[in-house]
Structure 1
């Protein structure tokens, strides 16, 4: 068996057995993810343990805009004073309940950061933004250096410069 992260293929990947314990994340991968992918609203990446096609984790990426006034001053002072800045949204990230506690959340987060960094070589972005689903998710993202928005404690961001450092630290 080999862990592989791939673009969601609704004809190939088995979404029906995925269950992370959160109805909204479970329903998204089962019912909405392929439509978001088809309509270019989000790109959905899945982790499988090949040759099985059962999804054991997933995440989504899309473009986003940041209001500079919501960023902490240390980060914002080095940026142009445009009212909105380009970013990448890590919209959803989930690991199947049967595989939680094995470090797979970190594996797919690092993969998402690597893809986001590669994207910034083609299309500018100052940070990756996440909207944490609960306080445990906030703590998870903070372990990787994400910072909370000033007025939105469940919304966090990681500057692209920090992503570069993270990728170097993990030698990816």
Structure 2
């Protein structure tokens, strides 16, 4: 992936994100990677909370699994690691959501939905899914999805 070789070092050095690698046990083989950074969701239109304009979040900026390791649960393992990091961050600073700009293909959308991510704009996300099922080309290359950490947070 071009991000690993061309951009990741700059993103880390400049403080834009942190990159984590998943390696095969006992080998120096990279199975996959993910990059995360701080972000926020603008939920002003749909939340009824006073004085809250933006919801503190962690953005999954990149996530990829080597083709030889796909469909073996490694993507889910990476999301579990992301959630663990987010929960730890949330102990020190506010962090309510995990957000991702998901690529608009059915496989990717189903992956995130299976892990309980939701579309930021539900109607638009569902409309996109229906279009993809009918083999229509999406008008957008990404769709914003989120996971509410309160779903797994222990109070």
Q: TM-score range by the shorter chain?
A: 0.7 to 0.9
Structure 2: unaligned runs, 5 residues or longer:
126-142
Structure 2 length normalisation: TM-score?
Answer: 0.79
Q: Does 1:64 align with 2:34?
A: no
Q: Which one is further off, 83-92 or 38-47?
A: 83-92
How many residue pairs get matched?
135
Following superposition, the deviation at residue 86 of structure 1 comes to: 1.1
Q: C-alpha deviations, 1:93-138, integer Å up to 9, x for none? A: 1100011111110111111111111110011012110110123211
Q: Which residue of 1 aligns with 2:149?
A: 160
Q: Does 1:40 align with 2:15?
A: yes
Q: Which one is further off, 40-49 or 131-140?
A: 131-140
Aligned partner (choices 76, 82, 87) of residue 117 of structure 1? 87
Aligned partner (choices 135, 139, 146) of residue 117 of structure 2? 146
Structure 1 length normalisation: TM-score?
Answer: 0.71
Partner Cα separation in structure 1 for residue 13 and residue 68 of structure 2 = 29
Runs of 4+ in 1 over 3 A off after TM superposition: none
Partner Cα separation in structure 2 for residue 120 and residue 80 of structure 1 = 21
Following superposition, the deviation at residue 80 of structure 1 comes to: 4.5
Partner Cα separation in structure 1 for residue 15 and residue 29 of structure 2 = 23
Q: Does 1:128 align with 2:117?
A: no
Partner Cα separation in structure 2 for residue 137 and residue 91 of structure 1 = 14
RMSD, aligned α-carbons: 1.9
Secondary structure in 2 matching 1:121: helix
Q: C-alpha deviations, 1:31-69, integer Å up to 9, x for none? A: 111211111101100001144333210011110021113
Q: Which residue of 1 aligns with 2:58?
A: 88
Q: Which one is further off, 32-41 or 49-58?
A: 49-58
Following superposition, the deviation at residue 81 of structure 1 comes to: 3.8
